[in-house]
Structure 1
Amino acid sequence: MAISSTSGPGQVNNLNLQEFLKILTSQLSNQDPLKPLDNQEFVAQLAQFSTLEQSTQLNAKIDQMLEQQAVTGSVGLLGRNVGVGSGGANGGPSVTGRVSAIQFVSGQAQLTVTQSNGAVFTGVTLDQITSAQ
């Protein structure tokens, strides 16, 4: 997770969690003992750190949810007739058939589509599916 801020026209600075902790630690270690960090500023920085950590955890949970949704969607296609896009100029399906198997490779569903003539197509991903019946 990175925090983005603009520091000038067209400039974006990314600050990740480790860099934020380094800056905070350096600031606390090198502060003037006669002029310590203002309590309000310190609390604001801690709140920013807490928000950053929560955002990181939220992103991880959303990623898990999206993976679960892909699994559920692919299982729902099992036994159904699908059209697999050709990626060509006409945009129509180049292969139609029944989803006969599902395999998960690195968290991504890969379908096996069997045509009525017995031809088998493996490694079909969900984004290649153009229609389902």
Structure 2
Amino acid sequence: MQVNTTTSQYSASSSSSTSSAGSSLDYDAFLKLFMAEMKNQDPTAPTSSTEYIAQFATFSQVEQSMQTNTKLDGLLSSLALSQADGIIGRTLTTEDGSLSGQVTAVRIVNGGALADLDTGKSVVLGPGVIIT
């Protein structure tokens, strides 16, 4: 964080923490930034309390959205696993007919579900896949 002491302006640089999903501002970093803002504000023109409340509300909304996304990812993975049981042992063929085989296992990866075939190949389960 850089603080300009003559005008009490600040700018954050590398005040974020790294998570597994990438760079994000966590709650502790937000509070540190917020406290630095309060300490370094111009005493003759302090920031209004409504601006502080708006900052907290915005951060809270972003944090809730991130938690919702995490829960939705878990739900989608769970749904994909429950549906995987129904295709194991069945024959899978790609739309163009280039790959075909019996499904021996289904794996859930970041890009979706992968079906492992008895031929040793893996096929992404999605549009264009025919299961019989």
Matched, 1:17 2:17: no
Alignment TM-score, normalising by the size of structure 1: 0.61
Query: Deviation of residue 35 (structure 1)?
Result: 3.6
Matched, 1:59 2:58: no
CA distance in 2, matches of 1:130, 1:103: 14
Q: Deviations over 1:31-86 (max 9, x none)?
A: 2344432121111111011111101111111221222232223222112221135x
Alignment TM-score, normalising by the size of structure 2: 0.61
**What residue identity is the alignment partner of 1:132?**
I
Matched, 1:29 2:26: no
CA distance in 2, matches of 1:39, 1:26: 15
CA contact (8 A) 2:81 2:108 kept: no
Mind listing any 5+ residue stretches in structure 2 that lack a counterpart?
Answer: 1-22
CA contact (8 A) 2:92 2:100 kept: yes
Quote the sequence identity (%). 29
Q: Deviations over 1:68-117 (max 9, x none)?
A: 232223222112221135xxxxxx12133322x21537676543324xxx
Provide the aligned length of Structure 1 versus Structure 2: 107
**Matched residue SS, 2:47:** coil
Where relative contact order (Cα < 8 A, 6+ residues apart) is larger, the structure is 1
CA RMSD of aligned residues (A): 3.1
Q: Which moved more, 1:63-72 or 1:122-131?
A: 122-131
Determine which structure has the larger strand proportion and give its number: 1
Which residue is equivalent to 1:43? Answer: 53
